[in-house]
């Protein structure tokens, strides 16, 4: 039953415009830049080891400045349920993205804890090196999956042809730029594309690069 629903979701997403997620927001100027282009999702990184880390308190301040049409996502790396709970109590998020070695059991526990918030979506990221990695991602207990080159934030891409037979809809990340995103969409056929470092200049989100990226994605939809 679940596999059938996932295949139906993949078929529906193939007929819809590709969604965009811009990750790693840290400043008000970042928020203003994404508000100007209206991606469907934007991400706040809550892993202190990452250079784009933001505190939950500051993230909530920025979230309040986000256009209401943009869904805020929290990115965690092996954080544990208690830490995720702490962040969610401070910052209102629509999605929790898990970028570590979180197991299906941990995902189910998190889902059970927030069963009263049916709108809270859990996304699990997977490092893709071969078809076996794709099959593992397909079987995830998460609501959505994200397929990446590595642990996230590397700015490196991978062989998109590995995804052509993926049975679930997915977020595609890793090395996407305004120059290659149309090719990535054509080859991988993702539900959404996830980008961060390639849209920055001197460590800050660049409005011109964001505009170019969004224009490229929207242009791919029109082909």
Residue 47 bears catalytic tag: no
DSSP characters over 156-214:
----GGGGTT-SS-EEEESS--TTTHHHHHHHH--SEEEE-GGGEETTEE-HHHHHHHH
Of residues 47, 91, 121, 148, which has the active-site annotation? 148
Active site includes 148? Answer: yes
Contact 43, 25 (CB under 8 A): yes
- Distance set, CA 52 to CA 97, 174, 196, 200, 205 (Å): 15, 16, 10, 11, 11
Enumerate residues 6+ apart whose C-beta is below 8 A from 23: 42, 43, 45, 52, 73, 75, 194, 195, 196
Angle between helix axes 104-113 and 81-90 (nearest 10 degrees) is 40
User: Mapping DSSP to helix (H, G, I), strand (E, B) and coil, where does residue 89 land?
Assistant: helix
Selecting among 23, 91, 121, 166, the annotated active-site residue is 23
Residues serving a catalytic function are 23, 148
């Amino acid at each position: 039953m679940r596999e059938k629903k996932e295949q139906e979701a993949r078929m529906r997403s193939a007929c819809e415009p590709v969604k965009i997620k811009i990750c790693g927001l840290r400043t008000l100027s970042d928020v203003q830049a994404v508000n100007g282009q209206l991606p469907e999702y934007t991400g706040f990184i809550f892993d202190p080891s990452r250079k784009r880390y933001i505190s939950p308190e500051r993230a909530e301040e920025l979230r309040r400045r986000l256009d209401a049409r943009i869904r805020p996502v929290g990115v965690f790396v092996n954080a544990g349920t208690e830490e995720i709970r702490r962040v969610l109590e401070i910052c209102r998020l629509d999605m929790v993205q898990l970028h570590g070695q979180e197991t299906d059991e941990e995902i189910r526990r998190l889902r059970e804890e927030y069963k009263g918030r049916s709108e809270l979506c859990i996304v699990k990221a997977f490092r893709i090196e071969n078809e076996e990695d794709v099959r593992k991602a397909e079987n995830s207990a998460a609501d959505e999956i994200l397929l990446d080159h590595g642990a996230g934030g590397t700015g490196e891409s991978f062989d998109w042809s590995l995804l052509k037979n993926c049975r679930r809809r997915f977020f595609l990340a890793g090395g996407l730029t305004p120059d290659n995103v149309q090719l990535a969409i054509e080859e991988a056929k993702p539900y959404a594309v996830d980008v961060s470092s390639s849209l920055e200049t001197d460590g800050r989100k660049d409005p011109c690069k964001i505009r170019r990226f969004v224009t490229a994605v929207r242009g791919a939809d029109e082909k």
